[in-house]
């Protein structure tokens, strides 16, 4: 039997949070990064907008803080918002130091974009592919660092917990499936860092890549970590509506630069929902579009850029312009058909100001973490900033992490499991979960819809648990198991919130409760898949 692999810091995920942590932690320890596909297969790589930071003379930290608090609809933790916003300029400089290219104006200053619910121009960017540029630079730096090992094609199965050995709850690594060989490896670490991204693939329509299956949240919950605010799934208002678009995101920055939402007949409608019109926050715009589509029976609304200078639009949004043009849509001459789609998980694994979870030795950073920054609705372009801030804080905090592990670590055992000969079960269950989550736990919810979703997910989880026990693990099965658990957690969190706030809107409780409170959900009665 293979001996456990040993490292100082095990990082699960290779987006902005995971890679920035790896670079900083590698200055004082050995780092192993695992990623289930290639290092660039991340939500970060798909991020178009940019990084929000106070850099303009007419801006202020307090203004950025207020914009974040307003978007979060009363549920942000102000202390966390202050930490992140105040660190913004430093983190933009960090990106430049790592080699990230950022757009400049004619005077050589950083070009600052405007996005929805912001009251100032403060978003640094690289054209309309900022995430891809950040990912490129971080990967290049990571791959040449002597203290960092990157294992692609490796997917975490479960976290290693001392509780399984009769000790207190503490994490000391993970079981990891090597997709290339089929071997399940045991990797032990002083600190295990979850940087696994979000949960977008729990919905049939999403702007997220296929890897966003909530793996980190599911694994952390299974070993007893507290999670919170999982009912707040952000639906991006503008994803390209086209049969061959593959849920292509139309960045918030288009509305920031003057794009206007319209109905098929050319009429505007956002003035009926909010004074900021097309620049209102994502929760408001997504609900407005959803309402207009239900009223009219139309398939989509339109984002109109045709009144803006064509050269400016092509230069500012070259990737979006090119992608739309490939589908027969010239955004300088035609409005863009758009619909909402699941985009970002505002909740996640409960983490403190240094990324530490409620389980010793386990850290969560980036989208999979629930820090209190986003409240009930994330402000545009605060997510990449959050990933930078908390990865830096966690990299400093893990210096003092003790090496805790049992004297003898149990290797992974397949028991009596055999190779699956019925993979269609995984595909069908995956599809069913994503469809009923969209129908029952989407932009507008109700008690009846949530109860229907609860009944369905319990039946499916029982089927998946049985399948998991009987057959050897595969990447598809692991993702399905995690997806089903995350769906359950989202449903249960939504059922418990008896109000409408931010991204959680329910027909049965359309008003705010007097006091804004975070939700929390934690395993208390033994492990379940």
Which candidate in 282, 316, 393, 445 is catalytic? 282
Contacting residues for 261 by C-beta, under 8 A, at least 6 apart = 237, 238, 255, 268, 269, 270, 278, 285, 289, 301, 302, 303, 304, 338
DSSP per position, 475-512: HHHHHHHHHHHHHHHHHHHHHH--S-BTTB-BTT--S-
- Pairwise CA distance, residues 169 & 173, whole Å: 13
Active site residue 517: no
117: left (phi over 0), alpha (psi -120 to 50) or beta: left
Phi and psi (nearest 5°) for 421?
Answer: -120, 20
Tokens of 54: 């106070």
In contact, 65 and 78? CB cutoff 8 Å: yes
Alpha-carbon separation of residue 193 from 85, 391, 400, 507 (angstroms): 23, 9, 14, 38
- Pairwise CA distance, residues 259 & 335, whole Å: 9
Tokens of 471: 């057959």
- Pairwise CA distance, residues 360 & 356, whole Å: 8
In contact, 248 and 240? CB cutoff 8 Å: yes
Looking at the annotation, which residues are catalytic?
Answer: 282
């Amino acid at each position: 039997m293979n001996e456990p692999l040993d490292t100082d810091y095990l990082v699960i995920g290779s987006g902005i949070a995971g890679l920035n942590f790896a670079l900083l932690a590698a200055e004082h320890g050995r780092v192993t990064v695992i990623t289930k596909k290639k290092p660039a297969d991340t939500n970060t790589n798909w991020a178009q907008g940019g990084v929000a930071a106070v850099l303009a003379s007419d801006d202020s930290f307090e203004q950025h803080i207020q914009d974040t608090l307003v978007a979060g609809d009363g549920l942000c933790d102000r202390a966390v918002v202050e930490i992140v916003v105040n660190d913004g300029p430093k983190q933009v400089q960090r990106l430049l130091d790592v080699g990230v290219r950022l757009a400049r104006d004619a005077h050589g200053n950083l070009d600052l974009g405007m996005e929805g619910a912001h009251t100032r121009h403060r978003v640094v960017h690289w054209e309309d592919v900022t995430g891809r540029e950040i990912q490129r630079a971080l990967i290049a730096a990571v791959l040449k660092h002597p203290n960092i090992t990157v294992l692609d094609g490796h997917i975490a199965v479960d976290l290693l917990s001392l509780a399984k050995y009769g000790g207190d709850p503490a994490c000391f690594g993970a079981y990891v499936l090597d997709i290339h060989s089929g071997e399940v490896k045991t990797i032990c670490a002083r600190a295990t860092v979850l940087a696994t991204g979000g949960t977008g693939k729990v919905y049939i329509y999403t702007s997220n890549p296929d890897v966003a299956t909530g793996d980190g949240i599911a694994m952390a919950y299974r070993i007893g970590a507290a999670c919170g605010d999982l009912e707040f799934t952000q639906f991006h208002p503008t994803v390209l509506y086209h049969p061959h678009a593959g849920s292509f995101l139309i960045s918030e920055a288009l509305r920031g630069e003057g794009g206007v939402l319209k109905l098929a007949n050319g009429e505007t409608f956002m003035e009926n929902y909010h004074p900021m019109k097309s620049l209102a926050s994502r929760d408001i715009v997504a609900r407005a579009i959803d309402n207009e589509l239900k009223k009219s029976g139309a398939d989509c609304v339109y984002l109109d850029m045709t009144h803006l200078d064509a050269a400016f639009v092509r230069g500012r949004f070259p990737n979006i312009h090119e992608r739309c043009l490939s589908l027969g849509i010239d955004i300088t001459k035609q409005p863009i058909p758009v619909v909402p789609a699941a985009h970002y998980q505002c909740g996640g694994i409960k983490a403190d100001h240094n990324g530490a979870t409620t389980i010793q030795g386990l850290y969560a950073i980036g989208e999979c973490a629930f820090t209190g920054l986003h409240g009930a609705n994330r402000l545009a372009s605060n997510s990449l900033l959050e990933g930078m801030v908390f990865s830096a804080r966690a990299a400093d905090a893990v210096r003092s992490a003790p090496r805790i592990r049992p004297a003898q670590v149990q290797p992974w055992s397949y028991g009596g499991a055999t190779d699956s000969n019925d993979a269609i079960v995984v595909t069908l269950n995956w599809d069913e979960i994503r469809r009923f989550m969209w129908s029952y736990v989407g932009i507008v919810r109700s008690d009846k819809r949530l109860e229907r979703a609860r009944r369905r997910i319990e039946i499916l989880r029982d089927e998946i648990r049985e399948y998991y026990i009987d057959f050897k693990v595969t990447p598809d099965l692991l993702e399905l198991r995690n997806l089903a658990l995350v769906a359950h957690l989202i449903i249960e969190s939504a059922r418990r919130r008896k109000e409408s706030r931010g991204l959680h809107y329910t027909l049965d409780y359309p008003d705010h409760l007097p006091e804004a409170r975070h939700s929390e959900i934690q395993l208390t009665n033994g492990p379940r898949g």
